[in-house]
A = this chain, B = another copy of it.
Amino acid sequence: MPDFVRRVPEGQDRERLVCRTCDYVAYENPKIVVGSVIHDGDKVLLCRRAIEPRRGFWTIPAGYMETGETVAQGAEREAWEEARARIAIEGVLAVYSIAELSQVQIIFRAHWAQPGFAPGPESLEVRQFIWETIPWAALAFSSVGWALETWHQGRLEPLPAAVLNPAEDRR
């Protein structure tokens, strides 16, 4: 483990992790989680987590964004990894900040690009739920409930904002 200490580097205004030996500054950045509410009519897809934290609880397909991908690509990758689902992103449903974890969650609304789903290695079970059967008491995280509520309120409307990259800059 590098020998970091927390101090204010010269010319800066807040504490950073600085190596005692070589003054290297390891900037700590908030982490981005990308995920999607995948809907089909009045049904949404949920995964029962096979891993900690919150093993056995239900979540939308979501996970840490990797370097070198767009937010939409990250959400598509997570849908495949956790639910073996091929999805088409419709737009940004919500942007949640979990400040105490320094985490930002970018949640998309998506529909099926191809039919079919199955548990990936991080899921015990994958199922579609209609609104009345969503297992509210067994959701893994508060933000899963927020995203489902937001989807339900606006599920019949288009998603005009927030926009993603212009088409010519999309990969």
Interface residues of A in 22-71 (CB under 8 A from B): 22, 24, 27-32, 64-71
Interface residues of A in 86-140 (CB under 8 A from B): 91-97, 99-100, 102, 104, 106-107
Interface range for A: 35 or more
Residue A156 lies at the interface, judged by CB distance under 8 Å to chain B: no
Within the assembled complex, what's the spacing in Å between the Cα atoms of A154 and B29?
A: 31
A23 to B, closest residue via Cβ? B1
Within the assembled complex, what's the spacing in Å between the Cα atoms of A102 and B161?
A: 22
Contacting A169 at CB < 8 Å: which of B28, B142, B157, B159?
B142
Can you list 16 A-B pairs with a CB-CB distance of less than 8 A?
A1-B24, A2-B2, A29-B32, A29-B65, A30-B67, A32-B104, A68-B102, A69-B97, A71-B104, A91-B162, A92-B162, A96-B165, A106-B106, A142-B169, A159-B161, A161-B161
Contacting A162 at CB < 8 Å: which of B1, B14, B64, B161?
B161
CB of A65 within 8 A of CB of B30, answer yes
Q: Which residues of B contact A32 (CB under 8 A)?
A: 29-30, 32, 104
CB of A165 within 8 A of CB of B71, answer no
CB of B164 within 8 A of CB of A95, answer yes
Contacting A29 at CB < 8 Å: which of B31, B99, B150?
B31
Q: Which residues of B contact A100 (CB under 8 A)?
A: 68
